Structure formats: C-alpha cells, structure tokens
C-alpha cells in the first residue's frame, strides 16, 4: 500500500464501496478506509434490494469489498480521526496516527440512529424494534405493532405500518397532543392513540409509567439521525440540521459535491432517508463525478503543457 492516492473514500458501506468500484474501474488509485459498522448491521437481512434481497448486511459489504479489490482498489480497516487540506490535496489521519494523502475525498460515513431514552429499545433494535416499513415491514406484517411517538414523522410512520398490520397502537409518550387532522387520520385507519408516558419496552409489550401494560410484538420508532461527520471540522465542513427536522446531515448537491472543493459526500451522511440501493447509487454517481473532475484537471494540465 502506498501513502498517496488519487481518492480516499472514507467509509465502506453501500455508498463508499459503490463509489470505490466506479473509481477503481476508472483505473484510479483509490483507498477505502472503513470502520466496519454499517448502519444496518443489527438487521438479519437487507430488504428492498433487487438482486440481493434478504442478504445479510455484513455479507453484502464483504462482497462489495471483494469487487472493489478485484479492480485494484485498496481497503483498510480503521477509523478516520481527521481530514485537512494539504497543498493541492488532502491529508487524512487515522485513529492511531497514520497519515495518508489524496487528491480528492469521498465521504460516505453514514449516520448514527439516536433512539429515545426508553429502556428496552436499544436491545431490540433492528429486530422487534424497527424504524422503516420498507426495511422490516414485511417481516412484522400482521403482528401487534406499537408506534412510539417521537416527533413530527410519527403519525406518518403509523400510517405506513398500518398498511402492514391492522393492529397498530400509537403511544403518545412525551409528545404533545395530536392536531385534529392527525387524530382524524389515525382514527380513520383504526389506529388507537394511547396517552401517557412510556416507561419501558419489556416482557413482550409496552409498560406505561401509570402501570398499564399493552402487549406488542413489534415497536416502530423514528430515530434522530445524525451524520457521522465530526472528523470533517478541519476542512470547515460539519453536519448541520436537516430541513426535515429528522436530524443532521452534511449538505451536498445532487452529484455529491460538498461546499469544499475536492470533497464529495454520498449515502446517509448527506441523505438521511437513503436506503441501501439509493446510497449505492449516490456513491456510484459521486465516484463517476470525481473521476470526471480528475479527468478535467489532467486534461487542462496536458493542454497547458502543449502551449
Ligand atoms: C436496523 C436497520 C435496518 C435497515 N434495513 C435496511 C434494509 O432492509 N434495506 C435498506 O435498503 N436499508 C436498510 N437500512 C438503511 C441502511 O442501513 C442504509 O441505507 C445504508 O446503511 C446506508 O449506507 P451508507 O453507505 O450511506 O452508510 P453505512 O452503511 O452506515 O456505512 C458507513 C460506513 O462508514 C464507516 N465509518 C463511519 N465513520 C467512519 C470514520 N470516521 N472512518 C472510517 N469509517 C467510518 C462505518 O463503520 C460504516 O462501515 C436499515 C437501517 C437500519 C438502522
């Protein structure tokens, strides 16, 4: 492994490996640095992914790594601690102190799901505590579902899970009362609103602080989604509030270009709602854009050399 690359991809999930695949196939010297914790790691399978439906999340990235390596891309396990501008490129420092240079960066570090502080949620996360009807809805179809209200998206979430089960309870928890329109929507779909603060999720159901217990086989909860981007501060980039109110992201345009020239971002770090297929598509697009940016730079240098 050399210590200078044309591109360093920071994060090797669906977005990062897709970007690296495009770059490696474009004969770019590309290094992926990956901490090995894709967001969906707790889940048994990846769903809604054509051609790989139900594959284990860790198997998916293991296959992706092999595909990238098959074209000469390099992958190293580890965590990036910081990134700074260094001459006409960038220097990336890994936890442990190793410093590596590159001309371009692709940031694909994903996000962290912050769960409400209710005992029992973390333990069931990705199995019987879920967030996404498209990821796990089929797996919990026809079960007794409890939606734990956490914010403005919770009614929307309850209506989506109602498509999959006709037994859905909506736990208001600490949220303010619903608007008349929201209450009407839930009532119209046969979703019962349960007032009162939730104490814990345990023994196959939801315990309220009042002592009431509601048996539930699955809990749906919207998380606060926070981009993993703290290590970018040396570049003047940082996660900011997402306009949806759902969390924090690193802004980028439709091609993945961030406000820092030479730095692209793709997948959940910039698009909080991207599923695996969307994250992979964004990574591939960003990889192609980075290749084109390098081609343009090389062409300009070659043309200047002729003059
Ligand atoms: C429980 C659960 C189940 C899900 N199920 C599905 C599903 O069935 N189908 C679906 O389409 N989507 C599913 N999703 C969504 C899916 O996880 C995301 O769409 C996908 O992981 C986004 O890919 P990504 O490449 O942007 O980020 P990630 O897959 O999260 O990859 C980011 C990578 O970057 C690494 N990283 C982070 N910080 C650093 C750093 N500083 N240095 C180096 N590496 C770093 C991480 O360790 C990780 O390996 C699920 C999500 C959850 C929470």
SS3 labels along the chain = CCCEEEEEEECCCHHHHHHHHHHHHCCCCEEEEECCCCCCCCCCCCCCCCCCCCCCHHHHHHHHHHHHHHCCCEEEECCEEEEEEECCEEEEEECCCCEEEEEEEEECCCEEEECCCCCCHHHHECCCEECCHHHHCHHHCCCCEEEECCCCCHHHHHHHHHCCCCCEEEECCCCCCCCHHHHHHHHHCCCEEECCCEEEEECCEEEECCCCEEECCEEEECCEEEECCHHHHHHCCCCEECCCCCEEECCCCCCCECCCCCEEECHHHCCCCCCHHHHHHHHHHHHHHHHHHHHHHHHHHHHHHHC
CA torsion, ordered 162, 165, 166, 171, to nearest 10 deg: -60
How far does the centroid of ligand 1 lie from the alpha carbon of residue 245, in Å? 20
- pLDDT score, position 101: 97
Q: Name which residue sits closest to atom 17 of ligand 1, judged by CA.
A: 40
254 CA to middle of ligand 1, Å? 20
pLDDT by residue (tens digit) across 74-89? 999 999 999 999 999 9
Higher pLDDT, 104 or 245: 104
Instruction: Assess whether 9 and 109 both reside in one domain.
Output: yes
Do 216 and 246 share a domain, yes or no?
no
Q: What is the CATH number of the domain that holds 75?
A: 3.50.50.60
Which of 221, 251, 270 corresponds to the end of one domain? Answer: 221
Residues 184, 106: one domain?
Answer: no
Same domain, 120 and 196: yes
Clarify whether residues 76 and 134 are in a common domain: no
User: Which of 59, 50, 3 is CA-nearest to residue 31?
Assistant: 3
Bridge partners of residue 77, in order along the sequence:
34
CA–CA separation, 22 and 32 (whole Å): 12
Domain count, the chain: 2
Same domain flag for 8 and 98: yes
Q: Work out whether strand 89-94 and strand 99-107 pair parallel, antiparallel, or are unpaired.
A: antiparallel
pLDDT in tens, 153-178: 899 999 999 999 999 999 999 998 89
User: What pLDDT does residue 151 have?
Assistant: 86
Torsion of CA 18, 133, 113, 285, to 10 degrees: 20
Judge contact between 276 and 46, C-beta under 8 A. Answer: yes
Same structural domain for residues 215 and 268? no
Return the pLDDT at 71.
Answer: 98
Same domain, 12 and 109: yes
| pLDDT reported for residue 153 | 85
Nearest to 22 by CA among 296, 274, 290: 290
Structural domain boundaries enclosing 35:
4-113+224-306
How distant, in Å, are the alpha carbons of 39, 105, 187, 191 from that of 162? 25, 42, 12, 8
Which of 175, 198, 221 is at the close of a domain?
221
State residue 31's pLDDT score.
Answer: 98
Pocket lining for ligand 1, CB < 6 angstroms: 10-16, 33-40, 42-43, 46-49, 79-80, 108-110, 113, 126, 132, 135, 228, 231, 267-268, 274-277, 279
Q: Are residues 250 and 291 in the same domain?
A: yes
Q: What is the value of pTM for the model shown?
A: 0.97
Question: 183 CA to middle of ligand 1, Å?
Answer: 34
Single out the residue in 165, 187, 221 at which a domain terminates. Answer: 221
Please check whether residues 125 and 49 belong to one and the same domain.
no
Sheet holding 247-249, edge to edge: 111-114, 224-227, 247-249, 240-241
> Could you tell me if 229 and 196 lie in one domain?
no
Residues 192 and 248 both lie in one domain:
no
Q: How confident is the model at residue 1 (pLDDT cuts 50, 70, 90)?
A: very low
Sequence-separated (6 or more) residues with CB below 8 Å from residue 297: none
């Amino acid at each position: 492994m050399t210590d200078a690359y044309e591109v360093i991809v920071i994060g090797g999930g669906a977005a990062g490996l897709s970007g690296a695949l495009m770059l490696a196939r474009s004969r770019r010297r590309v290094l992926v640095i990956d901490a090995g914790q894709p967001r969906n790691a707790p889940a048994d399978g990846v769903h809604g992914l054509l051609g790989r439906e139900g594959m284990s999340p860790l198997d998916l990235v293991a296959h992706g790594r092999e595909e990238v390596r098959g074209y000469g891309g390099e992958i190293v396990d580890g965590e990036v601690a910081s990134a700074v501008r260094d001459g006409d490129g960038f220097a990336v420092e890994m936890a442990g102190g190793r410093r590596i240079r590159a001309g371009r960066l692709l940031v694909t570090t994903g996000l962290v799901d912050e769960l409400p502080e209710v005992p029992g949620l973390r333990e069931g996360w990705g199995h019987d505590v879920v967030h996404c009807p498209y990821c796990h809805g089929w797996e919990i179809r026809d079960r007794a579902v409890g939606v734990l209200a956490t914010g403005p998206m919770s009614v929307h979430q309850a209506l989506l899970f109602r498509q999959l089960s006709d037994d859905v309870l909506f736990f208001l928890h600490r949220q303010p009362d619903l608007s008349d329109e929201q209450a009407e929507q839930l009532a119209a779909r046969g979703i019962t609103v349960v007032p009162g603060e939730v104490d814990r999720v345990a023994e196959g159901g939801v315990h309220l602080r009042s002592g009431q217990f509601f048996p539930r086989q699955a809990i749906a909860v919207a998380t606060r989604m926070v981009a993993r981007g703290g290590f970018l501060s040396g570049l003047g980039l940082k996660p900011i509030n997402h306009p949806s109110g759902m969390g924090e992201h690193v802004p980028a345009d439709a091609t993945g270009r961030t406000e820092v020239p030479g730095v692209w971002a793709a997948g959940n770090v910039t698009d909080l709602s991207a599923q695996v297929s969307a994250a992979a598509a964004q990574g591939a697009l960003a990889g192609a854009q980075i290749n084109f940016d390098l081609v343009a730079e090389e062409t300009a240098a070659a043309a200047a050399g002729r003059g």
